[in-house]
């Protein structure tokens, strides 16, 4: 079976042709370099759902079709992720005192940080910015395994020198084994068009950054080589879709 490209943002359909939502994130195990699942956003308004790779029937040009029908959506596992911030009472008082210190004309009062353990959404739900002490303990709780990394359209790709070359647009995967074949990087400051990055060029994979083992110049040079080979009728790296 050919490799397929899972494009972030593509619509997802059930086996009975009901639109369920769109690909919001791709779950990847960095150690094994294996795609485990996709996270579908607004899946029939039932919240974000985890769709494991075996539940994907096929990846077409502009959509992904699952093996389950729309009626089975509620049985799929929901994606859970929440950030908690715990502030000790002493730290809350100290931060309040620092925020009340006049630093500029007109500065008279600031909202005190609340002591205890709350979610980030609770802290900012009032619309008022509350100072968070640097010593606050931040904990992210998720129902995904600790070894799994969430790749999204907000994941930056950095070259060997730490330069941002773009953001992730697609993830290439073998549907049978789940092995990641590489990433398609959306055009940005350095790349004037989308670029394919084979998994062999990838160093560390994280939610915020994917760090490459090559420079942006090497990526450009390799891309030109594939283009020249293609012009001569030689096949380069395939961007296969479907099965």
Q: pLDDT tens per residue, the chain (243 residues)?
A: 478 899 999 999 999 999 999 999 999 998 899 999 999 987 666 678 999 999 999 999 889 999 999 988 888 888 887 777 777 777 666 665 555 554 544 444 445 556 666 665 665 665 555 666 667 777 777 778 888 999 999 899 999 999 888 899 999 999 889 999 999 998 766 676 788 899 999 999 999 999 999 998 888 787 655 444 344 343 333 333 333
Give residue 59's pLDDT: 93
Give residue 50's pLDDT: 92
> What global pTM score does this model have?
0.71
Give residue 124's pLDDT: 62
How far apart, in whole angstroms, are the C-alpha atoms of residue 173 and residue 10?
15
Q: Which domains does the chain have, with CATH numbers?
A: 4-68 (2.30.30.240), 82-142 (no CATH), 150-231 (2.30.30.240)
43-73 residues labelled b (16+ CB within 10 A) or e (exposed) = bbeeebbbbebebbbebeeeebbbebebeeb
Give residue 140's pLDDT: 72
Instruction: Check if the beta carbon of residue 200 is closer than 8 Å to that of residue 186.
Output: no
Q: Return the structure tokens found at 150.
A: 């969430």
Q: Return the structure tokens found at 224.
A: 């030109």
Give residue 30's pLDDT: 85
Spell out the residues 6+ positions from residue 144 whose beta carbon is closer than 8 angstroms to its own.
Answer: 27, 50, 79, 81, 150
How far apart, in whole angstroms, are the C-alpha atoms of residue 170 and residue 62?
12
* Closest to 50 measured CA to CA, from 77, 29, 10: 77
In the β-sheet with 81-87, what is the strand arrangement from edge to edge? 116-119, 81-87, 137-142
């Amino acid at each position: 079976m050919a490799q397929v490209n899972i494009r972030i943002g593509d619509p997802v359909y059930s086996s009975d042709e009901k639109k369920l939502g769109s690909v919001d994130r791709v779950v990847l195990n960095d150690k094994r370099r294996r795609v485990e699942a996709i996270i579908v956003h607004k899946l029939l308004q039932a919240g974000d759902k985890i769709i494991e790779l075996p539940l994907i029937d096929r990846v077409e040009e502009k959509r992904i079709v699952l093996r389950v029908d729309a009626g089975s959506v509620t049985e799929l596992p929901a994606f859970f992720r929440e950030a908690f911030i715990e502030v000790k009472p002493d730290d809350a008082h100290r931060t309040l005192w620092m925020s009340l210190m006049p630093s500029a004309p007109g500065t008279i009062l600031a909202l005190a940080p609340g002591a205890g353990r709350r979610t980030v959404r609770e802290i900012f739900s009032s619309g008022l910015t509350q100072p968070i002490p640097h010593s606050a303990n931040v904990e992210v709780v998720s129902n995904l395994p600790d070894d799994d990394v969430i790749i999204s359209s907000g994941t930056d790709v950095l070259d060997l020198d730490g330069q941002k070359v773009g953001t992730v647009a697609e993830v290439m995967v073998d549907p049978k084994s789940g092995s990641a074949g590489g990433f398609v990087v959306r055009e940005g400051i350095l790349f004037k068009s989308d670029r394919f990055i084979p998994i062999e060029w990838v160093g560390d994979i994280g939610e915020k950054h994917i760090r490459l083992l090559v420079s942006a110049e090497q990526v450009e040079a390799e891309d030109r080589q594939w283009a020249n080979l293609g012009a001569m009728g030689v096949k380069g790296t395939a961007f296969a879709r479907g099965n």
